[in-house]
Amino acid sequence: MIRLESATLLTPERQIPAGVLVLDGARIAYAGPAADAPPTAPYDEVLSLPGRVIIPGFVNTHTHLAMQLLRGCADDVPLMPWLEEHVWPIEARMTAEDILQGTRLALLEAVAAGVTCVNDMYGSMDRVAEAIGEAGIRGMITQGLIGVQDPERESLRRGVALYERWQGTFNGRLRVALGPHAPYTCPPDYLREVADYATALHAPVHIHLAETRGETEELLRQGTTPSEVLTRSGLTREHVVAAHAVFPAEGDIERLAGLDVGVAHCPVSNLKLGCGFAPTRRLREAGVPVGIGSDGAASANVLDPFLSMKAAAWIAKGTAEDAAALTAPDVLRMATREGALALGWPELGALEPGYLADVVVVDLRGYAVQPVFDPFSALVYTATAQQVERVYASGRLVYQEGRHLLVDAGEVLASGRAAAARIAGQPLL
């Protein structure tokens, strides 16, 4: 057992100054005031961490980790030409080995920023599974299914095989969802087939939904709406993670609230691609769990959840013209506990006995953060990934003060850079 003491335990619901957190294997055994902590347990390690806060690990509810290799390949371009003229041609040159190296590279950045769970959609997902297993964190993985390019259902079969091979592996750290890419790439009959497999496997579904105004307008022209695409196809018979939800149509928010659907809000990617921003306040007030995602580094450039938290807060406040529209504890909840609920993974994202021991120690003592009037404010509005000191995943220390403990970061960086240069077809800086 590991005992972390003298730190402030911080969750959206409570803050416990000079608290004690006890990790017993992969689970949290105690989280609370020092006075009530088990005093004589045979601890393997006792660490005193004054000046730090301990929070649940960040849940990145929507990403494409391997796109780390495309970071900065095309900026300042709208979504469709960005995909069609820049991203897809480079991706066509990516091998499974490139995807492995890109995912490993992304995980260096994510883990160092306190991310302990990722929801990833891409191709060659066996390699992604290996990379997440190696990094020691948790993940839900999805073979991205482009229905219009899958007449023989080969991708769909790969997505199902992925589930059968990896669901529950790495001591439960890995989960698998079925991933129809989006309504505009997957026709209704294809979505119905995906839904039938999801129901048979009891697998969750991960889909891009209502990312752009044009996408929602096209669905309206077809006599449907983003939420109706989910219900009419049968996808909502299982838990659905809907990425973006920037442009819900009339009635969509109320319908989503009555379904088992979580939203992955990706503020940095949405803003950068000029897509707009999700109505997070209305979604949350209706009862839809809204987590925070980075999306891929090709659009968001960074996977830092601290930046996403700031962006989520700024957007909500700016659009509502109300500084109280989304508070710091609200944003922290979205990045942790609510993200876990958005993924349908309820044992995650809390500092409570019995919950999974994915926790992050953040150092608030430095000049970039001090003085600290309020730890929520310091964590959400001031801190960056630079302040992450220690990351525990499943009770295991995976990152400490700039060092990745399970992987050789130098080797991963060199392999990732080489893979990026090869698929770019040009020398990179």
Question: By the criterion CB under 5 A, which residues form the site for Zn ion?
Answer: 295
Contact 383, 53 (CB under 8 A): no
Nearer to Zn ion, 162 or 364 (CB): 162
Could you give the 3-state DSSP secondary structure of residue 389?
strand
Nearer to Zn ion, 122 or 163 (CB): 122
Nearer to Zn ion, 277 or 376 (CB): 277
Nearer to Zn ion, 295 or 338 (CB): 295
The least CB distance from residue 72 to Zn ion, in Å, is 17
| Dist CA 225 CA 231 (whole Å) | 10
The least CB distance from residue 401 to Zn ion, in Å, is 32
Nearer to Zn ion, 28 or 106 (CB): 106
Burial, 399: exposed, middle or buried (Cβ in 10 Å; 0-12, 13-18, 19+)? Answer: buried
Start-end of H helices in 92-225: 96-112, 125-135, 154-166, 188-201, 213-221
The least CB distance from residue 63 to Zn ion, in Å, is 7
| Dist CA 199 CA 235 (whole Å) | 8
DSSP 356: B
Q: Which residue is nearest to Zn ion (CB)?
A: 295
Nearer to Zn ion, 266 or 412 (CB): 266
Tokens of 52: 């730090």
The least CB distance from residue 62 to Zn ion, in Å, is 6
The least CB distance from residue 426 to Zn ion, in Å, is 25
The least CB distance from residue 243 to Zn ion, in Å, is 5
Other Cβ atoms closer than 10 A to 226: 26
The least CB distance from residue 87 to Zn ion, in Å, is 11
Secondary-structure breakdown of the chain: helix, strand, coil percentages, each rounded to the nearest 5: 40, 25, 35
| Dist CA 337 CA 55 (whole Å) | 10
Nearer to Zn ion, 61 or 101 (CB): 61
| Dist CA 259 CA 2 (whole Å) | 39
Nearer to Zn ion, 98 or 295 (CB): 295
Strands 290-292 and 27-33: unpaired
- For tokens 């005093």, the residue is 39
The least CB distance from residue 38 to Zn ion, in Å, is 43
Nearest to 294 by CA among 349, 324, 339: 339
The least CB distance from residue 178 to Zn ion, in Å, is 15
Residues near 158 by beta carbon (within 8 Å), at least 6 away in sequence = 125, 143
Nearer to Zn ion, 131 or 209 (CB): 209
| Dist CA 152 CA 174 (whole Å) | 28
| Dist CA 300 CA 270 (whole Å) | 8
